[in-house]
Amino acid sequence: MFVDHARIFVASGAGGTGCLSFRREKYVPRGGPDGGDGGDGGSVILRADRHLSTLVSFRYRRLYKAGRGQHGMGSNRHGRNARDLVIPVAPGTIVLDDSQQMVADLRLAGDTLIASKGGRGGRGNARFATSTNQAPRTFEKGQPGEERWLTLELKLLADVGLVGFPNAGKSTLISRISEARPKIAAYPFTTLTPHLGHVVVDDATSFVVADIPGLIEGASQGAGLGIRFLRHVERTRLLLHLVEVSPMAEGSPVHRLHTIEQELASAPVPLSGKPVIVVATKLDTLPPDGEERRGLDELVATCARRSLPCVAISAVTGAGVKELVGRVAALLHTLPSPDTASALTKAGAEGDA
Protein backbone atom coordinates (compact mmCIF):
# COMPACT_ATOMS: atom_id res chain seq x y z
CA MET A 1 0.00 0.00 0.00
CA PHE A 2 1.39 3.38 -1.01
CA VAL A 3 0.68 6.17 1.53
CA ASP A 4 2.27 9.59 1.04
CA HIS A 5 0.34 11.72 3.55
CA ALA A 6 -0.14 11.29 7.32
CA ARG A 7 -1.04 13.30 10.41
CA ILE A 8 0.44 12.31 13.78
CA PHE A 9 0.45 13.56 17.37
CA VAL A 10 3.82 13.58 19.14
CA ALA A 11 4.33 14.08 22.88
CA SER A 12 7.68 14.05 24.64
CA GLY A 13 8.10 12.92 28.24
CA ALA A 14 8.11 15.23 31.23
CA GLY A 15 11.20 15.55 33.39
CA GLY A 16 11.33 13.83 36.76
CA THR A 17 10.85 15.82 39.96
CA GLY A 18 13.87 16.62 42.10
CA CYS A 19 13.97 15.01 45.53
CA LEU A 20 13.63 16.75 48.93
CA SER A 21 15.72 14.64 51.31
CA PHE A 22 18.18 14.96 54.20
CA ARG A 23 20.80 12.51 55.22
CA ARG A 24 19.78 10.83 58.46
CA GLU A 25 22.29 8.32 59.70
CA LYS A 26 23.40 7.27 63.15
CA TYR A 27 26.59 8.97 64.31
CA VAL A 28 26.40 11.44 61.36
CA PRO A 29 24.99 14.65 62.85
CA ARG A 30 23.71 17.32 60.50
CA GLY A 31 24.12 15.10 57.47
CA GLY A 32 22.71 17.80 55.21
CA PRO A 33 20.54 17.73 52.09
CA ASP A 34 20.98 14.74 49.77
CA GLY A 35 18.04 14.97 47.35
CA GLY A 36 18.99 13.91 43.81
CA ASP A 37 17.90 15.43 40.50
CA GLY A 38 15.08 14.10 38.37
CA GLY A 39 15.87 12.50 35.04
CA ASP A 40 15.18 14.16 31.69
CA GLY A 41 12.10 13.15 29.72
CA GLY A 42 12.46 11.35 26.42
CA SER A 43 12.26 13.25 23.12
CA VAL A 44 10.33 12.18 20.03
CA ILE A 45 12.69 12.04 17.04
CA LEU A 46 11.91 11.56 13.36
CA ARG A 47 14.70 9.91 11.35
CA ALA A 48 14.80 9.12 7.62
CA ASP A 49 15.31 5.39 7.07
CA ARG A 50 16.53 4.17 3.68
CA HIS A 51 14.57 0.91 4.08
CA LEU A 52 11.22 2.75 3.93
CA SER A 53 9.50 4.10 0.83
CA THR A 54 5.99 5.04 2.06
CA LEU A 55 4.26 6.41 5.17
CA VAL A 56 2.00 3.37 5.48
CA SER A 57 2.96 2.71 9.13
CA PHE A 58 1.31 5.98 10.15
CA ARG A 59 -2.00 4.79 8.74
CA TYR A 60 -2.50 2.53 11.75
CA ARG A 61 -0.89 4.58 14.51
CA ARG A 62 -1.11 8.32 15.11
CA LEU A 63 -0.08 8.82 18.74
CA TYR A 64 3.62 8.73 19.62
CA LYS A 65 4.59 9.44 23.22
CA ALA A 66 8.00 9.20 24.85
CA GLY A 67 8.50 8.17 28.49
CA ARG A 68 8.96 10.56 31.40
CA GLY A 69 12.14 10.90 33.44
CA GLN A 70 12.50 9.11 36.77
CA HIS A 71 12.11 11.16 39.95
CA GLY A 72 15.19 11.98 42.02
CA MET A 73 15.86 9.99 45.21
CA GLY A 74 17.66 10.40 48.50
CA SER A 75 21.34 9.70 49.05
CA ASN A 76 22.07 11.95 46.03
CA ARG A 77 20.65 9.43 43.62
CA HIS A 78 19.57 10.99 40.36
CA GLY A 79 16.58 9.74 38.40
CA ARG A 80 17.15 7.85 35.16
CA ASN A 81 16.76 9.73 31.89
CA ALA A 82 13.97 8.38 29.70
CA ARG A 83 14.81 6.87 26.34
CA ASP A 84 14.12 8.89 23.23
CA LEU A 85 11.41 7.60 20.91
CA VAL A 86 12.85 7.35 17.38
CA ILE A 87 10.27 7.16 14.59
CA PRO A 88 11.56 6.01 11.18
CA VAL A 89 10.16 7.75 8.10
CA ALA A 90 10.84 7.41 4.39
CA PRO A 91 13.56 9.64 2.90
CA GLY A 92 11.96 12.60 1.16
CA THR A 93 9.45 13.24 3.97
CA ILE A 94 8.49 16.85 4.65
CA VAL A 95 7.27 17.74 8.16
CA LEU A 96 4.67 20.50 8.54
CA ASP A 97 3.23 22.06 11.70
CA ASP A 98 -0.40 23.00 12.38
CA SER A 99 -0.01 26.24 10.42
CA GLN A 100 1.28 24.22 7.43
CA GLN A 101 4.73 25.78 7.78
CA MET A 102 7.59 23.44 6.94
CA VAL A 103 9.46 22.30 10.04
CA ALA A 104 11.99 20.04 8.33
CA ASP A 105 12.78 18.29 5.06
CA LEU A 106 14.12 14.81 5.78
CA ARG A 107 15.49 14.40 2.30
CA LEU A 108 18.27 11.87 2.79
CA ALA A 109 18.64 8.71 4.85
CA GLY A 110 19.90 9.61 8.32
CA ASP A 111 18.39 13.12 8.38
CA THR A 112 16.93 13.73 11.84
CA LEU A 113 14.39 16.05 13.45
CA ILE A 114 13.66 16.44 17.15
CA ALA A 115 9.90 16.69 16.72
CA SER A 116 9.17 17.08 20.42
CA LYS A 117 11.91 17.77 22.99
CA GLY A 118 11.72 16.07 26.35
CA GLY A 119 11.34 18.10 29.54
CA ARG A 120 14.37 18.76 31.72
CA GLY A 121 14.50 17.02 35.08
CA GLY A 122 14.09 19.11 38.23
CA ARG A 123 16.93 19.75 40.68
CA GLY A 124 16.94 18.13 44.11
CA ASN A 125 17.43 20.13 47.30
CA ALA A 126 21.12 19.17 47.44
CA ARG A 127 21.64 21.60 44.53
CA PHE A 128 20.42 24.54 46.60
CA ALA A 129 22.74 24.17 49.59
CA THR A 130 24.91 27.23 50.30
CA SER A 131 27.08 28.43 53.15
CA THR A 132 24.17 30.47 54.47
CA ASN A 133 21.42 27.94 53.70
CA GLN A 134 22.76 24.58 54.71
CA ALA A 135 19.37 22.88 55.03
CA PRO A 136 17.40 24.00 51.98
CA ARG A 137 13.89 22.68 51.54
CA THR A 138 13.74 23.86 47.96
CA PHE A 139 13.45 21.49 45.00
CA GLU A 140 12.22 21.70 41.41
CA LYS A 141 9.53 19.88 39.56
CA GLY A 142 10.43 18.48 36.17
CA GLN A 143 9.56 20.52 33.09
CA PRO A 144 6.59 19.26 31.08
CA GLY A 145 7.21 17.70 27.68
CA GLU A 146 6.18 19.26 24.38
CA GLU A 147 3.25 17.98 22.37
CA ARG A 148 1.88 18.92 18.97
CA TRP A 149 0.26 17.67 15.78
CA LEU A 150 2.47 17.22 12.74
CA THR A 151 1.65 16.58 9.09
CA LEU A 152 3.96 14.32 7.10
CA GLU A 153 4.12 14.53 3.31
CA LEU A 154 6.29 12.27 1.20
CA LYS A 155 7.96 13.49 -1.97
CA LEU A 156 9.66 10.63 -3.78
CA LEU A 157 13.35 11.01 -4.52
CA ALA A 158 13.88 10.38 -8.22
CA ASP A 159 16.04 11.79 -11.02
CA VAL A 160 13.39 11.51 -13.73
CA GLY A 161 9.61 11.94 -13.58
CA LEU A 162 7.20 10.46 -16.13
CA VAL A 163 4.17 12.66 -16.84
CA GLY A 164 1.38 12.48 -19.38
CA PHE A 165 -2.22 11.50 -19.98
CA PRO A 166 -3.59 8.22 -18.58
CA ASN A 167 -2.76 5.28 -20.85
CA ALA A 168 0.14 7.14 -22.45
CA GLY A 169 2.46 4.20 -21.79
CA LYS A 170 4.25 5.37 -18.63
CA SER A 171 3.85 2.08 -16.75
CA THR A 172 4.92 0.03 -19.78
CA LEU A 173 8.02 2.17 -20.24
CA ILE A 174 9.15 2.01 -16.61
CA SER A 175 8.65 -1.77 -16.59
CA ARG A 176 10.73 -2.01 -19.78
CA ILE A 177 13.73 0.00 -18.54
CA SER A 178 13.76 -0.94 -14.85
CA GLU A 179 12.80 -3.63 -12.36
CA ALA A 180 9.55 -1.86 -11.42
CA ARG A 181 6.40 -3.86 -12.14
CA PRO A 182 3.34 -1.60 -12.10
CA LYS A 183 -0.02 -2.89 -13.31
CA ILE A 184 -0.23 -3.08 -17.12
CA ALA A 185 -3.32 -4.14 -19.08
CA ALA A 186 -4.69 -4.19 -22.61
CA TYR A 187 -7.53 -1.79 -21.72
CA PRO A 188 -7.41 1.94 -20.84
CA PHE A 189 -6.86 2.72 -17.16
CA THR A 190 -4.61 4.91 -15.06
CA THR A 191 -2.05 4.05 -12.40
CA LEU A 192 -3.41 4.98 -8.98
CA THR A 193 -0.14 5.22 -7.07
CA PRO A 194 3.39 6.35 -8.02
CA HIS A 195 6.09 3.77 -8.73
CA LEU A 196 9.86 4.01 -8.61
CA GLY A 197 12.22 2.22 -10.97
CA HIS A 198 16.02 1.99 -10.93
CA VAL A 199 17.49 2.19 -14.44
CA VAL A 200 21.01 0.80 -14.90
CA VAL A 201 22.75 2.18 -18.00
CA ASP A 202 26.20 0.69 -17.39
CA ASP A 203 28.52 -0.13 -14.50
CA ALA A 204 29.05 3.56 -13.71
CA THR A 205 25.72 5.13 -14.67
CA SER A 206 22.22 4.68 -13.29
CA PHE A 207 19.22 6.82 -12.39
CA VAL A 208 15.83 6.56 -10.68
CA VAL A 209 12.55 7.08 -12.54
CA ALA A 210 9.18 7.92 -10.95
CA ASP A 211 5.97 6.87 -12.72
CA ILE A 212 3.31 9.43 -11.72
CA PRO A 213 -0.46 8.72 -12.11
CA GLY A 214 -1.82 10.20 -15.32
CA LEU A 215 -3.07 13.77 -15.62
CA ILE A 216 -6.11 14.95 -17.52
CA GLU A 217 -7.38 18.34 -18.61
CA GLY A 218 -8.55 20.27 -15.56
CA ALA A 219 -6.36 18.31 -13.13
CA SER A 220 -5.16 21.57 -11.52
CA GLN A 221 -8.85 22.25 -10.63
CA GLY A 222 -9.30 18.76 -9.15
CA ALA A 223 -10.45 16.74 -12.17
CA GLY A 224 -9.58 13.05 -12.09
CA LEU A 225 -6.89 12.37 -9.51
CA GLY A 226 -6.09 16.08 -9.60
CA ILE A 227 -2.51 17.16 -8.97
CA ARG A 228 -2.15 15.36 -5.65
CA PHE A 229 0.78 13.25 -6.85
CA LEU A 230 2.65 16.01 -8.69
CA ARG A 231 4.66 16.79 -5.54
CA HIS A 232 6.54 13.56 -6.29
CA VAL A 233 8.15 15.16 -9.36
CA GLU A 234 9.09 18.42 -7.60
CA ARG A 235 12.49 16.98 -6.68
CA THR A 236 13.21 15.43 -10.08
CA ARG A 237 15.84 16.96 -12.31
CA LEU A 238 14.23 15.96 -15.61
CA LEU A 239 10.72 15.26 -16.89
CA LEU A 240 9.82 12.78 -19.61
CA HIS A 241 6.56 13.97 -21.17
CA LEU A 242 4.95 10.91 -22.73
CA VAL A 243 2.58 11.67 -25.61
CA GLU A 244 0.63 8.85 -27.26
CA VAL A 245 0.75 9.01 -31.06
CA SER A 246 -1.59 6.06 -31.67
CA PRO A 247 -4.34 6.88 -34.21
CA MET A 248 -6.85 5.50 -31.68
CA ALA A 249 -6.01 8.20 -29.10
CA GLU A 250 -8.48 11.04 -28.62
CA GLY A 251 -7.29 14.42 -29.93
CA SER A 252 -4.02 15.27 -31.61
CA PRO A 253 -0.63 14.60 -29.95
CA VAL A 254 0.18 18.35 -30.09
CA HIS A 255 -3.04 19.18 -28.25
CA ARG A 256 -2.27 16.61 -25.54
CA LEU A 257 1.25 18.03 -25.21
CA HIS A 258 -0.09 21.56 -24.66
CA THR A 259 -2.79 20.36 -22.25
CA ILE A 260 -0.36 18.65 -19.88
CA GLU A 261 2.03 21.60 -20.08
CA GLN A 262 -0.79 23.88 -18.93
CA GLU A 263 -1.59 21.59 -16.01
CA LEU A 264 2.07 21.51 -14.95
CA ALA A 265 2.23 25.30 -15.10
CA SER A 266 -0.94 25.56 -12.97
CA ALA A 267 0.33 23.27 -10.22
CA PRO A 268 0.86 24.80 -6.71
CA VAL A 269 4.60 24.50 -7.35
CA PRO A 270 4.98 25.21 -11.09
CA LEU A 271 6.91 22.45 -12.85
CA SER A 272 7.03 23.97 -16.32
CA GLY A 273 10.59 25.22 -15.84
CA LYS A 274 12.16 21.77 -15.55
CA PRO A 275 14.12 20.28 -18.46
CA VAL A 276 11.85 18.10 -20.60
CA ILE A 277 12.26 15.35 -23.17
CA VAL A 278 9.11 14.70 -25.18
CA VAL A 279 8.56 10.98 -25.75
CA ALA A 280 6.21 9.90 -28.55
CA THR A 281 4.86 6.53 -27.42
CA LYS A 282 3.14 3.53 -29.04
CA LEU A 283 5.12 3.84 -32.26
CA ASP A 284 4.23 0.21 -32.99
CA THR A 285 0.61 1.20 -33.68
CA LEU A 286 1.60 3.36 -36.71
CA PRO A 287 2.18 2.10 -40.26
CA PRO A 288 5.56 2.84 -41.93
CA ASP A 289 3.96 5.71 -43.85
CA GLY A 290 0.58 7.23 -44.58
CA GLU A 291 -1.94 9.67 -43.15
CA GLU A 292 -1.97 7.95 -39.75
CA ARG A 293 1.58 9.24 -39.10
CA ARG A 294 0.47 12.85 -39.43
CA GLY A 295 0.08 13.32 -35.66
CA LEU A 296 3.62 12.10 -35.04
CA ASP A 297 5.03 14.37 -37.74
CA GLU A 298 3.21 17.40 -36.28
CA LEU A 299 4.52 16.58 -32.81
CA VAL A 300 8.10 16.27 -34.04
CA ALA A 301 7.79 19.55 -35.97
CA THR A 302 6.36 21.34 -32.91
CA CYS A 303 9.19 20.12 -30.70
CA ALA A 304 11.75 21.17 -33.31
CA ARG A 305 10.34 24.73 -33.42
CA ARG A 306 10.49 24.94 -29.64
CA SER A 307 13.93 23.29 -29.38
CA LEU A 308 12.50 20.45 -27.30
CA PRO A 309 14.22 17.08 -27.66
CA CYS A 310 11.81 14.46 -28.96
CA VAL A 311 12.24 10.68 -29.11
CA ALA A 312 9.74 8.26 -30.65
CA ILE A 313 9.56 4.85 -28.98
CA SER A 314 7.60 1.67 -28.65
CA ALA A 315 7.89 0.28 -25.14
CA VAL A 316 6.26 -2.95 -26.38
CA THR A 317 8.77 -3.75 -29.15
CA GLY A 318 11.69 -1.82 -27.64
CA ALA A 319 12.11 0.48 -30.63
CA GLY A 320 13.82 3.72 -29.60
CA VAL A 321 14.00 2.77 -25.91
CA LYS A 322 17.78 2.36 -25.84
CA GLU A 323 18.23 5.74 -27.54
CA LEU A 324 15.88 7.35 -25.00
CA VAL A 325 17.74 5.89 -22.01
CA GLY A 326 21.05 7.09 -23.48
CA ARG A 327 19.76 10.62 -24.01
CA VAL A 328 18.32 10.75 -20.49
CA ALA A 329 21.62 9.61 -18.96
CA ALA A 330 23.60 12.12 -21.02
CA LEU A 331 21.29 15.01 -20.08
CA LEU A 332 21.27 14.10 -16.38
CA HIS A 333 25.06 14.20 -16.45
CA THR A 334 24.89 17.91 -17.38
CA LEU A 335 22.23 18.86 -14.82
CA PRO A 336 23.02 19.88 -11.21
CA SER A 337 22.60 17.31 -8.46
CA PRO A 338 19.32 17.36 -6.50
CA ASP A 339 20.90 19.12 -3.50
CA THR A 340 22.52 21.77 -5.72
CA ALA A 341 19.32 22.32 -7.65
CA SER A 342 17.36 22.68 -4.41
CA ALA A 343 19.82 25.25 -3.09
CA LEU A 344 19.68 27.25 -6.33
CA THR A 345 15.87 27.21 -6.30
CA LYS A 346 15.78 28.35 -2.67
CA ALA A 347 18.28 31.13 -3.32
CA GLY A 348 16.25 32.32 -6.30
CA ALA A 349 13.07 32.38 -4.23
CA GLU A 350 14.77 34.40 -1.48
CA GLY A 351 16.11 36.81 -4.08
CA ASP A 352 12.63 37.33 -5.55
CA ALA A 353 11.27 38.00 -2.06
Question: pLDDT tens digits, residue range 299-338?
Answer: 999 999 999 999 999 988 889 999 999 999 999 888 876 5
Nearest alpha-carbon partner for 212 in 263, 250, 258: 263
Q: Is the pLDDT assigned to residue 214 strictly greater than 50?
A: yes
The type of residue at 114 is: I
**Residue 133: how many other CB atoms lie within 10 Å:** 11
- Band (181; pLDDT cuts 50, 70, 90): low
Cβ-contact 134, 29 below 8 angstroms: no
- CB-neighbour burial class of residue 125 (10 A; exposed 0-12, middle 13-18, buried 19+): buried
pLDDT higher at 182 or 172:
172
Which tens digits make up the pLDDT trace of 18-67?
999 999 888 877 789 999 999 999 999 999 998 887 888 898 899 999 99
Within a 13 Å sphere around the CA of 193, how many CA atoms are in the beta-carbon half?
15
351 confidence band (pLDDT: 50, 70, 90):
very low
How far does CA 58 lie from the centroid of its chain? 14
Domains of the chain listed by start with CATH number: 1-154 (2.70.210.12), 160-352 (3.40.50.300)
100: pLDDT strictly greater than 50: yes
